[in-house]
Amino acid sequence: MEEAVVLYPTPAIGHVRAMVELGKVILSHQPSLSIHVLIATPPHQADGTAPYITAASSASPGFTFHRLPETTLPPPSSKAAGGHEGPIFEVLHLNNPFIHEALVSISKNSKIQALIMDFFISVAFQVATELNIRPYYLYTNGAGSLASFLYLPTLHNQTTESFKDMDVLLDIPGVPPVPAKDMISPLLDRNQKAYEFFYGCSITMAKSAGIITNTFEALEPRVIKAISDGLCVPDAPTAPLYCIGPLIASTDEKKTGGASGGRMAECLTWLDSQPSKSVVYLCFGSLGLFSKEQLREMALGLERSGQRVLLVEEMKIALPMVELEKGFVSSDEVEKRVRELMKSKEGKVVREQITAMKEAAKAAWGEGGSSHLALAKLVESWKHE
């Protein structure tokens, strides 16, 4: 009987892409494995991942993609999660019977070594344990935000207030103090469904067979050590942490355009024609949602900066943005920060650090590099259980 690993991403293109890239590196390390990917139908833009999955299926012979049946969302309740997270969580919860069915079907011809779920999908943890399949989580972000999720139950038990009502700094192991009101929006109100979902995710992640995070040791050494030392889950054992990153699509795939067809190739052609180190990169994620007014302000600020245009912080590879009421960032602030990044002494330090981290990322995947060793440790653990 062949051995298999089952991957279950959140149905957003960025999450699907990261999960598939993880499958590729697992397969490169252990070619005898078969990789099965379970694809849920998202509540919005149902075919958003279809072109990418079609391309990945033909390019990756060791992969089998399983499209789960579409589910019908119930009417929203008064406690329903706002934003785009709520419907996604509901769909993933309703998919549990389909996940059970898919895992049973795959198990008829394969020994499933692991079910690797997106960190959003805590609800599938129960299905995996019922079937005696080891549950793992892929956390598609870095270790800094992972620390805040793992520490959420501790913060939850320290107060009865919601973060949105607290004018304090939160002390989270491994990261600088965080203003309570700066926690991500789904966590701001503990009485909302979104908070309940994320709280459940943080608990089940800590109980899993392992957490895979899309980072590498040179990028976030302090917080990686804090998590590995158990500081973020002080009252219980911490799941093993595997820093396997960065998970980046291959050059050939990016040139062909992935899920966006020719549009991405055209974008990269434009990028290749620009002077070296002259472009500022802004990344909002595939689920990034902005008001019309905010998009207009960003566009105006970028245009006035005179640059061709990053926003991330900590790790010294980005500059912070000063927000106005309700998180709104003005065009003046965008223009100021872009100019600072590209023309100031502080910006030069940031750009030099970015170059250094680029080289460190390559080294992490080299023979004996931190991500290469973490991947080997993960795959090796399946052989002994």
Q: Which residues are catalytic?
A: 15, 118
The tokens for 382 are: 């399946």
Q: Tell me how far apart the alpha carbons of residues 14 and 138 are, in angstroms, rounded to a whole number.
A: 13
CA proximity to 278, closest of 318, 309, 310: 309
Determine the distance from the C-alpha atom of residue 378 to the mean position of all C-alpha atoms in its chain, rounded to a whole number: 19
CA proximity to 17, closest of 43, 46, 42, 48: 48
Reduced to 3 states (helix: H, G, I; strand: E, B; else coil), residue 372 is helix
Q: Tell me how far apart the alpha carbons of residues 323 and 310 are, in angstroms, rounded to a whole number.
A: 16
CA proximity to 129, closest of 100, 105, 169, 101: 100
CA proximity to 68, closest of 83, 49, 55: 49
Annotate 7-41 with DSSP letters as a single string: EE--SSHHHHHHHHHHHHHHHHH-TT-EEEEEEPP
